[in-house]
Amino acid sequence: MQNERKINSAEVIAVGTEMLLGDLVDTNTAWISGRLAALGVGIYRHTTVGDNKERIVAAMREASARSDLVITTGGLGPTSDDLTNECLALLSGREMVEYGEARRHVDEMFARFGRKPTPSNYKQALFPEGTRLIPNPLGTALGALLEVDGTLFATFPGVPSEMKNMFEETLEPLVRARSDGAIVSRTLWFAGIGESALAERVQDLLDAQDPTVAPLAGQGKVRLRITARAATPEQAAQKMEPVEKEILGRLGKYYFGEDDETLEGAVGRLLKKQNAILALAESCTGGLLAKRLTDMPGSSAFFAEGLVTYSNEAKERLLGVPRETLVEHGAVSGPVARAMAEGARKGAGADYGLSVTGVAGPDGGTEEKFVGLVYIGLSDAEETFAEKLDLSAWARSRAAIRERSANRAFDLLRRRLQKHLQEQNKT
């Protein structure tokens, strides 16, 4: 490619009427942006346009006037409403021509899945003349790389796994070689404190300009993102260090990890450190805790089993919750949460038992057992206890009650594990 200018700024254009109609949530743009930010490329804007030639070309033209790199996702399929590469040809005043390499790729991909391409599939072999192709080992749609008036365009398919692979294999090395300086970000995660209470305690840092510190809250967790810009990633990291130290000095007791860390990730790490095994007993979260733990590769090292006991009968039979306890206190109660946690732990021969029982709603609440009333039980060799949560402020959202219950349960276990670890270290 001639006339290669530095890549310091980028925009992402998502193409697809399904997104404008609200039929699909675009996760690609966020992923791409995170990757570009890590490479020191500033992102000015995200745009989504429909499958409409004029509007796609207009969005491409506007973005190229602002940014060094324009990445598009979507619109590379075989159907007649897939228009992205054709729009790139219109923008650059080039012809669409068939690439033999791309045609062979279509044939090969179909052969791999034991199917035959149809004539329309060969539309995916057409690209603006002069394009450099982006290989796609996971699908038929190749991408295009084309410099138009000094702005580099890169087109990717909308299928996330394909796009990610192509981005990492082809575009990332290219951007790395052509970007100036670095923006480095680090996210610090906190639980057990609200957003404004947390923000108050670091207000002076939130007002600072470089590094910047920004809070963001959601479902019982709060994060602070520290961002610094410098000539090299190392220098940027160095600039962040004192800020991070200061924050942890003030808020350390709520801190549970950084960047991609999750509460279940922190729990898993601490369990592994202690060679301990966890068993779950879930009622209102219905498998959400187990699902989140097993989202992580390697979770079998610390997770043995989870019992989703939706019915009272299952709570009795599988967890040994005494019928009298269920009758006297009701399924949503401290005594039942304790019995569930203990039953799960003992049944599995595990070190820790964690349970959740509650009213997730939106229906089924009574005055006494209202929507949002949740009990979390925790059992280990030392003791078994329960914590009561009042999530009635989120009574309109079953999903919010379930997510917040899961987060609180994981955070309770995390604190317990951390306490045990500190005690061990002392002895």
Q: Which of 2, 3, 80, 425 binds a second copy (CB under 8 A)?
A: 80
Task: List CB contacts of 252: < 8 A, sequence separation 6 or more.
Answer: none
Our finding on whether 173 is near a second copy (CB under 8 A) is no
**Which region holds residue 353: left if phi is over 0, alpha if psi is between -120 and 50, else beta?**
beta
CA atoms of 205 and 209, how far apart (whole Å): 9
| Region from 173-181, 242-250, 299-307, 415-423 binding a second copy, contact rule CB under 8 A | 299-307
Our finding on whether 366 is near a second copy (CB under 8 A) is no
The residue whose two tokens read 């009990």 is 375
The residue whose two tokens read 């009561």 is 388
Our finding on whether 216 is near a second copy (CB under 8 A) is yes
Task: Name the residue among 374, 285, 288, 389 with its Cα closest to residue 331.
Answer: 374
The residue type at 120: S
Our finding on whether 49 is near a second copy (CB under 8 A) is yes
Q: Which of 1, 4, 6, 34 binds a second copy (CB under 8 A)?
A: 34
Q: Which of 204, 207, 368, 382 binds a second copy (CB under 8 A)?
A: 207
Alpha helix stretches (DSSP H) within 93-154: 100-112
Our finding on whether 135 is near a second copy (CB under 8 A) is no
Query: Per-residue b/e over 266-277, b at no fewer than 16 CB within 10 Å?
Result: bbbebbeeeeeb
* C-alpha pair distances (Å), 328 with each of 189, 297, 324: 40, 41, 6
| Region from 170-178, 242-250, 358-366, 380-388 binding a second copy, contact rule CB under 8 A | 358-366
Shortest distance in whole angstroms from residue 31 CB to a second copy: 6
| Region from 127-135, 143-151, 201-209, 244-252 binding a second copy, contact rule CB under 8 A | 201-209
Positions in 258-297 near a second copy (CB under 8 A): 280, 282, 284-291, 293-295, 297
CA atoms of 289 and 402, how far apart (whole Å): 9
Our finding on whether 320 is near a second copy (CB under 8 A) is no
Element (H, E) at 149: none
Our finding on whether 126 is near a second copy (CB under 8 A) is no
Closest to a second copy by CB, 159 vs 191, is: 159
Our finding on whether 136 is near a second copy (CB under 8 A) is no
Shortest distance in whole angstroms from residue 423 CB to a second copy: 28
For the chain, the C-alpha Rg in angstroms (whole number) is: 26
Our finding on whether 227 is near a second copy (CB under 8 A) is yes
Shortest distance in whole angstroms from residue 68 CB to a second copy: 15
- Report how far Cα 274 is from the mean position of its chain's Cα atoms: 27
186's tokens: 């680090």
Closest to a second copy by CB, 132 vs 269, is: 269
Return the bridge partners of 185, or none: 227
Our finding on whether 138 is near a second copy (CB under 8 A) is yes
Our finding on whether 111 is near a second copy (CB under 8 A) is no
Element (H, E) at 224: strand 221-230
Our finding on whether 415 is near a second copy (CB under 8 A) is no
CA atoms of 277 and 299, how far apart (whole Å): 10
Q: Which of 1, 393, 419, 424 binds a second copy (CB under 8 A)?
A: 393
Task: List CB contacts of 41: < 8 A, sequence separation 6 or more.
Answer: 7, 8, 9, 10, 69, 175, 179, 183
Return the bridge partners of 354, or none: 280, 378
Q: Which of 9, 29, 72, 84 binds a second copy (CB under 8 A)?
A: 29
Q: Which of 101, 161, 327, 419 binds a second copy (CB under 8 A)?
A: 161
Closest to a second copy by CB, 130 vs 287, is: 287
CA atoms of 415 and 419, how far apart (whole Å): 6
Shortest distance in whole angstroms from residue 42 CB to a second copy: 8
Our finding on whether 199 is near a second copy (CB under 8 A) is yes
Q: Which of 220, 268, 306, 377 binds a second copy (CB under 8 A)?
A: 306
Our finding on whether 23 is near a second copy (CB under 8 A) is yes
- DSSP secondary structure code for residue 312 in this structure: H
| Region from 83-91, 173-181, 194-202, 414-422 binding a second copy, contact rule CB under 8 A | 194-202
